[in-house]
Amino acid sequence: MVLRIELLNNITRYTAVQRKLHWVVVLLISSQYLLQVPMRAAMANLERNQTLGAVDFLVTTIHTWGGAAAGAIMVYRLWLRVQRPVPVGAGTLHGPWRWLASGMHWAFYALVLFMVLTGLLHYYLELERAANWHEKGEWLLLGLIGAHVLAALLHHLYKKDAVLGQMWGSKPPH
């Protein structure tokens, strides 16, 4: 019986590495949003062929490398997810809710990678169209983050299940 419960926990739960990488990506993407205004100012200076000051250089470096790091981690998370599939909602969702939650998770992978690609194309190749798509993606990603946070809170407050607690690293209920 204990072995069966442990197997069930392994099937419905992300590994410690997966959970830690989730929160690292949260921090990286949060920093991207915090750097939005100074990044736009630095890019405007570059477009006017002005030499970047130390602060602008630091902002552009942190923003571009932070975005690239988030993308690399998302690729690794995607690989981990394929290697060790975990049902969304800890296996508690059914029907259209399961499809919606699964779609949301896969949309995160696609959208973060899209943001990395468009950001790199704009910054390094100066493709203006990529900048336009990058700015549109910012809003899509923000909406997806809002829906994700709302879903986590609904799990915690309405369904009263362990999904949110497990993402914080809590042990699953016995």
At 101, give phi and psi (nearest 5°). Answer: -65, -40
Answering whether pTM is above 0.85, one says no
**Is the pLDDT confidence value at 3 over 70?**
no
The pLDDT tens digits for 78-125 are 999 999 888 777 677 788 988 998 899 999 999 999 999 999 999 999
CB-CB contact of 141 with 152 (8 Å)? no
How does residue 7 score in pLDDT terms, banded at 50, 70 and 90?
very low
Mean pLDDT to the nearest integer, 124-147: 95
Dihedral (CA of 147, 150, 155, 159) sign: negative
CB count within 10 Å of CB 5 equals: 11
In CATH, the number for domain 2-168 is: 1.20.950
Q: With 60 as the cut, is the pLDDT of residue 14 above it?
A: yes
In the chain, domain spans = 2-168
> What's the rounded mean pLDDT across residues 138-148?
96
Q: What residues contact 173, with CB distance under 8 A and at least 6 apart?
A: 162
Helix/strand/coil for 80: helix
Whole-number pLDDT of residue 171: 61
Rg (CA), the chain: 19
**For residue range 35-83, what is the model confidence (pLDDT) as tens digits?**
999 999 999 998 899 988 999 999 999 999 999 999 999 999 999 999 9
Tell me the pLDDT band of 168, cut-offs 50, 70 and 90.
confident
User: By the 8 A CB rule, do 33 and 64 touch?
Assistant: no
| Residue corresponding to tokens 């197997």 | 7
Between 109 and 155, residue with greater pLDDT: 109
Residue 61 near residue 85 (C-beta atoms within 8 A): no
Cα 162 to Cα 89, 118, 124, 133, 171, distances in angstroms: 9, 36, 43, 37, 9
Model confidence pLDDT, tens digit, residues 18-36: 989 999 999 999 999 999 9
